[in-house]
């Protein structure tokens, strides 16, 4: 069973649907309201464990009802919770999510406790990181934790996937120790200054990231799929799957969790991207983030139905 360490955020998702996303100063009547586990780290950990990986999650929760519910969620999912800390000073993070009739979303995240993950928290998990097949990171936490995670993984020769989301500034020096980077169009723009709107612009942005030291650049393009660049003159678009989307929140996390599982399982990068696209496609057919992540039998059936052998 592949072993993945996810270091990053947990926030409780507070979501409601609405006829349209509110304009500044506008109040929109919506509903229904749903609450559930979320956060990029939590979503990706849930996706990876449901795919079939052995997952350890490093994060911080508040000492409150949301934190206790989070811990129960991860225990039910059989995630290793040994390195989940309870912060006495900070509340569990929360995400305020609005979803419109076209399944587009608008999100405000208050990181709370998971924004305080420290270098010390990461170092405590060194034994798990040393034995991992993949370490999976996001930017929805302290940059201190991200840098420490990259350096510790490099020390032990463990590949790192960095999902630079949501974007915040960090030292690009660490990218030489990142094996895979997985920005979406917006994050690729923030990282490179290139507005990514199609394959051509994705290639230009990917080359810039490659020059910074990341040898496997993957730019996710929503329902179009994901663009891969590993050097040379050309890249390759790995098409997405066509589904009836209900809620696109968490699709990027689904891709990253699925991709991490497939890479940790020894799949080629192309096959891992196809697998990630499948997990993402299935996730948007349900409401929510972590609860919407598909299980292995759903993924296998979907791939078989679409004539895909991985």
**Is 42 a known ligand-binding residue?**
yes
**Is 220 a known ligand-binding residue?**
yes
Which H/E stretch holds residue 279?
helix 269-283
**Is 184 a known ligand-binding residue?**
yes
**Is 11 a known ligand-binding residue?**
yes
**Is 27 a known ligand-binding residue?**
no
Per-residue DSSP letters for 73-99? HHHHTT-B-TTEEEESSSPPEEEEEEE
Secondary structure, 3-state, 190-244: HHHCCCCCCHHHHHHHHHHHHHCCCCEEEEECHHHEEEEECCCCCCEEEECCCCC
**Is 93 a known ligand-binding residue?**
no
Q: Which of 175, 179, 176 is nearest to 191 (CA)?
A: 175
**Is 277 a known ligand-binding residue?**
yes
C-alpha 58/C-alpha 22 separation (Å) is 34
DSSP 3-state of 161? strand
**Is 13 a known ligand-binding residue?**
yes
Q: Which of 109, 118, 113, 214 is nearest to 168 (CA)?
A: 109
CA gyration radius, the chain: 18
Per-residue DSSP letters for 127-148? HHHHT-SEEEEESSS-HHHHHH
**Is 221 a known ligand-binding residue?**
yes
**Is 240 a known ligand-binding residue?**
no
**Is 244 a known ligand-binding residue?**
no
**Is 252 a known ligand-binding residue?**
yes
Q: Which of 110, 77, 106 is nearest to 93 (CA)?
A: 110
Strands 236-239 and 225-229: antiparallel
**Is 283 a known ligand-binding residue?**
yes
**Is 39 a known ligand-binding residue?**
yes
**Is 271 a known ligand-binding residue?**
no
**Is 12 a known ligand-binding residue?**
yes
Q: What is the DSSP letter of 24?
A: T
| Distance, CA of 90 to chain centre | 23
**Is 100 a known ligand-binding residue?**
no
Q: How many CA atoms lie within 13 A of 103 on its CB side?
A: 18
C-alpha 142/C-alpha 138 separation (Å) is 10
Q: Which residues are catalytic?
A: 253
C-alpha 301/C-alpha 296 separation (Å) is 9
**Is 216 a known ligand-binding residue?**
no
Annotated binding-site residues read 11-13, 39-43, 140, 184, 220-225, 247, 249, 252-253, 277, 283, 286, 288
Annotated binding-site residues for ATP read 184, 220-225, 252-253, 277
Annotated binding-site residues for substrate read 11-13, 39-43, 140, 253
Annotated binding-site residues for K(+) read 247, 249, 283, 286, 288
């Amino acid at each position: 069973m592949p072993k993945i360490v996810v270091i990053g955020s947990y926030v409780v998702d507070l979501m409601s649907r609405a006829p349209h996303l509110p304009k500044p100063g506008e109040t929109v009547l919506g509903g229904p309201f749903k609450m559930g586990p979320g956060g990029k780290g939590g979503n990706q950990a849930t996706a990876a464990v449901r795919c079939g990986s052995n997952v350890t999650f490093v994060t911080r929760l508040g000492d409150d009802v949301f934190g206790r519910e989070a811990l129960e969620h991860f225990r039910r999912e059989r995630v290793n919770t040994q390195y989940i800390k309870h912060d006495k000073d900070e509340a569990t993070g929360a995400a305020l999510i609005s979803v419109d009739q076209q399944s587009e979303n608008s999100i405000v995240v208050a990181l709370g406790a998971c924004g305080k993950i420290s270098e010390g928290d990461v170092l405590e998990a060194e034994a798990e990181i040393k034995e991992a097949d993949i370490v999976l990171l996001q930017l929805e936490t302290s940059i201190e934790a991200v840098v420490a995670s990259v350096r510790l993984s490099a020390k032990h020769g463990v590949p790192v996937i960095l999902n630079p989301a949501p974007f915040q500034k960090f030292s690009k020096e660490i990218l030489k120790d990142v094996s895979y980077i997985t920005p979406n169009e917006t994050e690729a723009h923030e990282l490179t200054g290139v507005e990514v709107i199609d394959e051509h612009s994705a290639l230009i942005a990917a080359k810039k990231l490659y020059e910074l030291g990341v040898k496997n650049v993957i730019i996710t393009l929503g329902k179009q799929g994901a663009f891969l660049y590993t050097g040379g003159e050309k890249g390759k678009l790995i098409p997405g799957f066509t589904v009836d989307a209900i809620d696109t929140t968490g699709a990027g996390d689904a891709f990253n969790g699925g991709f991490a599982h497939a890479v940790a399982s020894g799949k080629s990068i192309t096959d891992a991207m196809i697998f990630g696209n499948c997990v993402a496609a299935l996730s948007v057919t349900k409401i929510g983030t972590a609860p919407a992540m598909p299980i292995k039998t759903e993924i296998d059936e979907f791939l078989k139905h679409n004539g895909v052998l991985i």
